Amino acid sequence: MPGKTPDKEPVENGGYRGGKDMTDKDLKPKGKKASKKEGDDEMTVVVPPSKASKHSSANPPNDAEGDVAMDDADKAAEGEVKADPVAQTINDIKSNFALLDRAVALFDARFTLRALRSISSIRKRLTPDILAQAISETYQPSSASALVAKQMLQVIGRPDVSLGRQPGPEMEIDSEPKATGKNGAKKEVKEVIPEVDVFLGILTQVLLHDNKQFQQGFGFSHYLVEQIRSVNRRTLDSLSAKVYFYYSLFAEQLAPLPPSPHSPIVSIRPTLLAALRTAVLRKDVDTQASVIVILLRNYLLTSHIAQADLLVSHTQFPENAANNQVARFLYYLGRTRAIQLRYTEAHEHLTAATRKAPSSACALGFSQTATKLLLVVELLMGDIPDRSTFRQPSMEAALHPYFLLVQAVRVGNLEDFETIVADHADTFRRDGTYTLILRLRQNVIKTGIRMMSLSYSRISLRDICIRLHLGSEESAEYIVAKAIRDGVIEATLDRERGFMKSKEVGDVYATREPGEAFHDRIRACLALHDESVKAMRFPMNQHRLELKNAQEAREREREMAKEIQEGDLDEDDLGGEFEGM
């Protein structure tokens, strides 16, 4: 007991500092994870190795710093610690426990988030052995959550590892008796908090997912979810959000695969809905946001559009959810709306989703998928997307089929359009945009008619019919009439002589359109300003410091005024100030 206080403090400090360093560095991997989760069908994209190596090479100094803080006397041993990747990973994992401890003690979710963020860097180095060791060093066989620990060991295929092992058997060569003793002492006095259970559980999930052991992962996730639901701790919120996320990810990977109504994702819906209900009641924003997104994805995978729509209309997506979740939510919402032919709403949501998507190259999958859908919706609305969208180097290749599509629609060439749809049908189907693209046919026709009405002041229906490859003159007549009614073109038809006569195009600037466009932009700018004001964060108690400064300044001023009164100051001294005024 006496050893506790002096020891604990530095450890926390070190962990804290280590975590802080990581936040900057980990921004990127976080983005990458988002892309992996979200975006493409190739969900199990493996992280490029170059990045991983860069990362691990960047890490040691950071951890070394932690070690320094932990115990200055250990400086000599530190070199070896750094060299051993296994021990270092275990240390990384454990440094997060400190963060979780702190999160519980201070009731501040930011520390938990920091711990979660470090998962992506640990992930690349994680092996069953490392995790098993970390688990066995964390838990005592007698501790309350030993059952959870056993379950974890079982599922990663190391059931024979016993709990309560003293840390660092590999480190024996390093002969670090001091550190060992210290850690051991710490553990004896402290019961493992549930946050640590769940954190290790998430690591187990990650490991199983990376090793493609989906069946075990699903079983374990189910167990973990049950575990989470049995405790009611607010500090667990952001962790459980993650657990649910992996839970559904495992379910998606199991046969029969999603489009089939017998996929396991259907069977996890009740659990997710229950989780959502609980999260709403407990005002658990993280879980709420993430479970809504998971459910939406779940419904859309089995094409239960009506249910997805009902879910959206009956729940309120938390306003202060994490940015990534908001982006995902908007994407799925946009998708639902696009299918329901509510293009304006779909466009709004998808634009927001693409803007909110992490801008780093790592979340590319999500950006690409969202952009593809956005392009199709724009086409369906009768707009032609910007050429610059296709020029971005990161998007160019992925968007190529869509580029061709846009070209066909822009020109209004029905024949081209149909060949492109046929050529790239597989791509479109994989992107889930095929049915939407089929709806574009009428837009192509309308554009064709518009082009014709712009270029000719008078054209016979027969010519229209031939140019647009329509079935018959009667069809052409009806189609043109409909286009006129829908306001696509300004023209009149002459039935007796069978031609279309275009009206003079009015001046756009005389209408209210430019004013409205202007108004929209101004409103967007003002909203942006408001949001950035709201998003500002100020350090605690800073204002008091400023107040103090202000008070000092005032005192100085008063003194100066006094001196002036007394005539101590020369005119020259004051000169500068007057000019300034």
Q: Which two tokens stand for residue 478?
A: 């009806």
* 464: contact with another protein by CB under 8 A: no
Contact region for another protein (CB under 8 A) — 116-124, 140-148, 397-405, 487-495?
A: 487-495
Q: Which of 83, 526, 553, 561 binds another protein (CB under 8 A)?
A: 526
Cα–Cα distance for residue pair 538/277, rounded to 1 Å: 34
User: Would the CA dihedral through 61, 65, 68, 70 be positive or negative?
Assistant: negative
Q: Per CB under 8 A, does 3 bind another protein? A: no
**Reduced to 3 states, what is the DSSP secondary structure of residue 257?**
coil
Q: Say whether residue 132 binds another protein (CB under 8 A).
A: no
Nearer to another protein, 366 or 428 (CB): 428
**Is the CB of residue 407 less than 8 Å from the CB of residue 444?**
no
503 binds another protein (CB under 8 A): no
CB of 492 to another protein, least distance (A): 6
- Single residue of 53, 129, 178, 478 touching another protein by CB under 8 A: 478
Helices (H), 71-106: 75-83, 85-106
Backbone angles phi, psi at 302, to 5 degrees: -100, 15
Q: Say what the alpha-carbon torsion angle 518, 519, 520, 525 is, to the nearest 10 degrees.
A: 90
Residues 326-365 that bind another protein (CB under 8 A): 339-342
Distance CA 319, CA 424 (A): 39
Q: Which of residues 46 and 522 has its CB atom nearest to another protein in the complex?
A: 522
Helix (H) or strand (E) holding 460: strand 458-460
Peptide bond into 2 cis (omega under 30): no
> Could you say whether residue 467 binds another protein (CB under 8 A)?
no
List 529, 543, 548, 556, residue binding another protein (CB under 8 A) = 529
531 contacts another protein (rule: CB under 8 A) = no
Give the shortest CB-529-to-another protein separation in angstroms.
6
DSSP E strands in 60-143: the ranges are none
Instruction: Tell me whether residue 22 or residue 339 sits nearer to another protein (CB atom).
Output: 339
Binder to another protein among 170, 383, 423, 474 (CB under 8 A)?
Answer: 474
Q: From the CB of 294, what's the least distance to another protein, in Å?
A: 19
- Helix, strand, or coil here: 450? helix
> Which residue in the set 276, 445, 452, 464 belongs to the binding site for another protein (CB under 8 A)?
445
Task: Find the shortest distance in angstroms from Cβ 260 to another protein.
Answer: 5
Per DSSP, the three-state class of 481 is helix
Q: What are phi and psi of 494, to 5 degrees?
A: -115, 110
484 interacts with another protein by CB under 8 A: yes
Between 346 and 399, whose beta carbon lies closer to another protein?
346
At what angle are helices 269-281 and 214-230 packed, to 10 degrees? Answer: 30
The binding site for another protein (CB under 8 A) comprises 256, 259-262, 302-306, 309, 339-342, 429, 434-435, 438-439, 441-442, 445, 470-472, 474-475, 478-485, 491-496, 512, 515, 519, 522, 526, 529
